[in-house]
Chains A and B, each alone.
Chain A
Amino acid sequence: MNSASAIDIGRPASRQETRWRYWRGELKGSEYMWALAFIVPYIAMFLVFVAYPVVYGLWMGSEASLYSQLFADPIYQSTVINTVLYLALAVNVKMVLALLLSGFFMRPGWWMQALLMIYILPWAVPSLSGFISIHWMLNGEWGFLNNLLYTLFHIDGAYWLNERWLAMGSAIVSHIWKQLPFWTVILLAGRMAIPLDIFDTAKVDGATGMRCFVHITLPLIANLYLTCTLLSTIFTLGDFNTIFFVTGGGPANLTHVLATIGIRNAFDLAQPRLGVAAVMSALPLMIPLVIVLMRRLRTAEVQL
């Protein structure tokens, strides 16, 4: 205890002093200075790298005329449809598959662990090389996929990136290929946290297979599954790499999503404010998702 705090102890606290101490978090003397020294860099970093870019972005996209220009752009209209479709299909198919595969990887055996290591590879490799490889593989004339089809079955494969819905489908499958291992491992961890006693008890009562899944696994993992789905939706909404490197937004700019159209508007059209406006237009979808996610994370209920 330093001398200043010793003096403080003997002095009757006035209302102003009490308030001051409250603001100082009940810290005394050098403790308060240490606290400041630790927190100031964080606040400075937060202001420079989080608050400033967000406020700057809001300012850049604040003109109402930008949004009328944006909504009049036919490419933007198809982009909104693509984004909704991309989220609905990519997220849900991916999460359902992750849930099912997490059950598969619960099986015992060293070979299952080895298989899991291989399975994780798509998530572990850098996005750029993975998606560019897929782009080349899907090339209609000399891509690996169509060459394989011709070699094995003497059939000419489709031109995967030439038609809007085929290209969107290719991008969705690529996204799932890339992200599925991550969510499988998360749900696998969730499943492993379920006490085995519950399953043993159920087995004594005669429940096996699907019954155990429906009545034990699913209810206990539901909260985790929902939280993961919300998180995945937020991540997928901001997913730039898949579309940009697999379809390039084509053909004819018809496979853009909100994450890529902003870049197109900002740099291809040389209209950065319009690019920011495109990204801002995702906020009505993003903010409710974040609020719901935060509410879920605050839940007092103890559940997996």
Chain B
Amino acid sequence: MAYLSRRSFLCRSLALAAAGSFARPYIAKAAATTATMWWAQGFVQDEDVALKKVIADYEKASGNKIDLSIIPFAPERQKIISALTSGVVPDLFNSNPGEIITQYGWKDQWVDVTDVVETQKANYHPTALLAAQAYNNVTKQRSFYGVPVTSAVVPIHMWRSLVEKAGYQMSDLPKTWDAFFDFFKEVQKKLRAQGMRKVYGQGFQVTANGNDPNALYYAFLIGYGGQNIFTQDGKPHFDDPAVKEAAIKALSYLTTSYKEGYVPPSAINWNDADDNNAFHAQLMVMDVDGTLSTEVAIKAEHPEQYYQEIATQGFPLSNDGKPVTSQVAFGCGLIPKGAQNVTVAKELLKYWIQPEIVGAYVKTGLGRWLPAMPALVKDPFWQDPKDPHLPGYAKQGMVDPTMPFYYVFNPAIAEIDAEHVWSVAMFDVINNGMAPAAAIDKAFKRAETIFAKYQVV
């Protein structure tokens, strides 16, 4: 047996260290033109195909290399938060969740991308330009930290086949808010009378998981005239009587529907995808859910459902006959501070947001996401009269009145949403027997406590 002497031990250790040093320059050299990118996996494979095509085309055009990782939504979200916490970050990722633009903009953790946004500023929807900015609590200023690539509204998805089975036509749908949603209560009654024991009229996500319940509550709040609960200056207006009245009305409508049995009981503990699954299973006639994921998920396998049995539309008019503003979420590219190759990341984004490139990208992804530029929805793809979903979806997001989700105004709102303050209020009414007014008082108090931590100057 050979003994390892002290000298040989040290020599071998040094040799190993030297080998490591010689191995490194290859990576260092490659880093000059390589950018690391994380992006969320699509709901359907076509979305990933679209993404890979953009990246491949960019690599071909620029000579740069993009080290792309396509990661499922939930793990990517955790990976992003972990990276931002540890400081070991990629060069580019998407805004997953959307709130991180505001939350980490507050902490001065994004690279300013005003120069990138400027290249297409004239083409962007004004709401996109508003949503791509965040308040920086270090510089005490708002700036562009996100580059909008895609957008999405919250449409209403309906089983046309169930409406017709109940003896109605889609043309029977009322035009105003309460009448529209009440209509589905009648549909439920008719279907139950035909022996459909487990069918519900309204798919309201009265849960405390994911973004859906926040989007639903805000839709009703705005529908009842409470749009100014938070304003662009980042201030809350809980003492505004119109806001409070709308907040109580929204809570009352959603919780009363639930308590009266028009909403699937398990909706109180649904996760993000449960409403999609329940809708596909025809557990409910109607669902208020962001993006066209519900429709595109079944397009390939059940084209008859996509083209004939499911219908999509934007929000009805308010009770006094006025258009209701829809909230729009934007899928943005973000470059974190500490990124090694900001130049390539910015170049890629500039390439990607060119109208012809981003227009093709959203179309290849089956139209689950809208573009962030109104001119692009004039494309025949979005205006196809044979498609029962895309034209209405495009109109709701890019033509009708819109505003960004409230969280872009102040990170406090992002925290209120993440804590599901409104869902807790729904639960207080549904399970704890609290009056809607008392539940809203409690929710406003919690929201004020959170706001105290984030003072936008």
Smallest Cβ-Cβ distance to B446: which chain A residue: A74
Q: Are A252 and B424 in contact (CB under 8 A)?
A: yes
Find residues 126-177 in chain A having any chain B CB closer than 8 Å to their own CB.
139-142, 159, 161-164, 167
**A58 to chain B: closest CB distance in Å?**
15
**A158 to chain B: closest CB distance in Å?**
10
**A248 in the interface (beta carbon within 8 A):** yes
**B420 in the interface (beta carbon within 8 A):** yes
Q: How large is the interface on A (under 10, 10 to 19, 20 to 34, 35 or more residues)?
A: 35 or more
Q: Are B268 and A141 in contact (CB under 8 A)?
A: no
**B69 in the interface (beta carbon within 8 A):** no
Q: Which one of B3-11, B120-128, B397-405 is at the interface?
A: B3-11
Q: Are A140 and B266 in contact (CB under 8 A)?
A: yes
**A37 in the interface (beta carbon within 8 A):** yes
Q: Are A34 and B424 in contact (CB under 8 A)?
A: no
Find residues 12-67 in chain A having any chain B CB closer than 8 Å to their own CB.
29-30, 33-34, 36-37, 60
**B264 in the interface (beta carbon within 8 A):** yes
Contacts of A253 on B, CB cut-off 8 Å? 208, 420, 424
The CA of A250 and the CA of B424, in the complex, are separated in Å by 11
Contacts of B3 on A, CB cut-off 8 Å? 2, 29-30, 33-34
Contacts of B423 on A, CB cut-off 8 Å? 252
Q: Are A141 and B269 in contact (CB under 8 A)?
A: no
The CA of A34 and the CA of B5, in the complex, are separated in Å by 9
**B270 to chain A: closest CB distance in Å?**
8
Interface string of A250-267 (1 = CB under 8 A from B): 111110000000000011
**B232 in the interface (beta carbon within 8 A):** no
The CA of A75 and the CA of B415, in the complex, are separated in Å by 14
The CA of A142 and the CA of B265, in the complex, are separated in Å by 11
Q: Are A250 and B208 in contact (CB under 8 A)?
A: yes
The CA of A66 and the CA of B206, in the complex, are separated in Å by 30
Contacts of B4 on A, CB cut-off 8 Å? 30, 33-34, 37
Q: Which one of B21-29, B76-84, B235-243 is at the interface?
A: B76-84
**A269 in the interface (beta carbon within 8 A):** yes
The CA of A252 and the CA of B268, in the complex, are separated in Å by 8
The CA of A161 and the CA of B266, in the complex, are separated in Å by 7
Find residues 54-98 in chain A having any chain B CB closer than 8 Å to their own CB.
60, 72, 74-75
**A8 in the interface (beta carbon within 8 A):** no
Q: Are B209 and A163 in contact (CB under 8 A)?
A: no
**A270 in the interface (beta carbon within 8 A):** yes
The CA of A264 and the CA of B4, in the complex, are separated in Å by 51
Find residues 158-199 in chain A having any chain B CB closer than 8 Å to their own CB.
159, 161-164, 167
**A233 in the interface (beta carbon within 8 A):** no
The CA of A270 and the CA of B99, in the complex, are separated in Å by 9
**A232 in the interface (beta carbon within 8 A):** no
**B326 to chain A: closest CB distance in Å?**
25
Contacts of A268 on B, CB cut-off 8 Å? 418
**B171 in the interface (beta carbon within 8 A):** no
Contacts of A30 on B, CB cut-off 8 Å? 3-6
**B12 to chain A: closest CB distance in Å?**
10
Q: Are B418 and A251 in contact (CB under 8 A)?
A: no
**B245 in the interface (beta carbon within 8 A):** no
**B167 to chain A: closest CB distance in Å?**
24
Of A34, A248, A251, A266, which is within 8 A of B81 by CB?
A266
Q: Are B78 and A141 in contact (CB under 8 A)?
A: no
Contacts of A238 on B, CB cut-off 8 Å? none
Contacts of B191 on A, CB cut-off 8 Å? none
**A247 in the interface (beta carbon within 8 A):** yes
Q: Taking A141-B283, A269-B415 as contacts, is the C-beta distance between A248 and B6 under 8 angstroms? A: no
**B287 to chain A: closest CB distance in Å?**
15
Q: Are A251 and B208 in contact (CB under 8 A)?
A: yes
The CA of A64 and the CA of B377, in the complex, are separated in Å by 52
**B75 to chain A: closest CB distance in Å?**
10
How would you classify the secondary structure of chain B's contact residues: helix, strand, loop or mixed?
A: helix
The CA of A252 and the CA of B426, in the complex, are separated in Å by 9
Smallest Cβ-Cβ distance to A266: which chain B residue: B81
Q: Taking A159-B266, A167-B269 as contacts, is the C-beta distance between A72 and B449 under 8 angstroms? A: yes
Contacts of B209 on A, CB cut-off 8 Å? 248, 250
**B114 in the interface (beta carbon within 8 A):** no
**A272 in the interface (beta carbon within 8 A):** yes
Q: Are B266 and A267 in contact (CB under 8 A)?
A: no
The CA of A162 and the CA of B209, in the complex, are separated in Å by 13
The CA of A270 and the CA of B6, in the complex, are separated in Å by 50
Interface string of A207-250 (1 = CB under 8 A from B): 00000000000000000000000000000000000000001101
The CA of A77 and the CA of B209, in the complex, are separated in Å by 19
Contacts of A250 on B, CB cut-off 8 Å? 207-209, 268-269
Smallest Cβ-Cβ distance to B100: which chain A residue: A270
Q: Are A142 and B78 in contact (CB under 8 A)?
A: no
Interface string of B274-286 (1 = CB under 8 A from A): 0000100101000
Q: Are B265 and A159 in contact (CB under 8 A)?
A: yes
Tell me which of A72, A247, A266 has the highest count of chain B C-beta atoms within 10 A of its own C-beta: A266
Q: Are A163 and B431 in contact (CB under 8 A)?
A: yes
Q: Are A75 and B269 in contact (CB under 8 A)?
A: no
**B198 in the interface (beta carbon within 8 A):** yes
Q: Taking A142-B198, A252-B424, A267-B81 as contacts, is the C-beta distance between A247 and B269 under 8 angstroms? A: yes
Of A37, A72, A162, A269, which is within 8 A of B9 by CB?
A37
Q: Are A267 and B9 in contact (CB under 8 A)?
A: no
Contacts of B268 on A, CB cut-off 8 Å? 159, 162, 250-252
Of B5, B265, B281, which is within 8 A of A33 by CB?
B5
Tell me which of A34, A36, A75, A253 has the highest count of chain B C-beta atoms within 10 A of its own C-beta: A253
Contacts of A74 on B, CB cut-off 8 Å? 446
Q: Are B269 and A33 in contact (CB under 8 A)?
A: no
Can you list 21 A-B contacts (CB < 8 A)? A30-B5, A30-B6, A33-B3, A34-B3, A60-B85, A139-B266, A159-B266, A159-B268, A162-B265, A163-B431, A164-B431, A247-B269, A250-B207, A251-B431, A252-B424, A253-B424, A266-B81, A267-B78, A269-B419, A270-B100, A270-B414
New contact pairs (9) apart from A251-B431, A252-B420, CB-CB < 8 Å: A33-B9, A141-B283, A167-B269, A248-B269, A251-B208, A251-B427, A253-B420, A268-B418, A269-B418
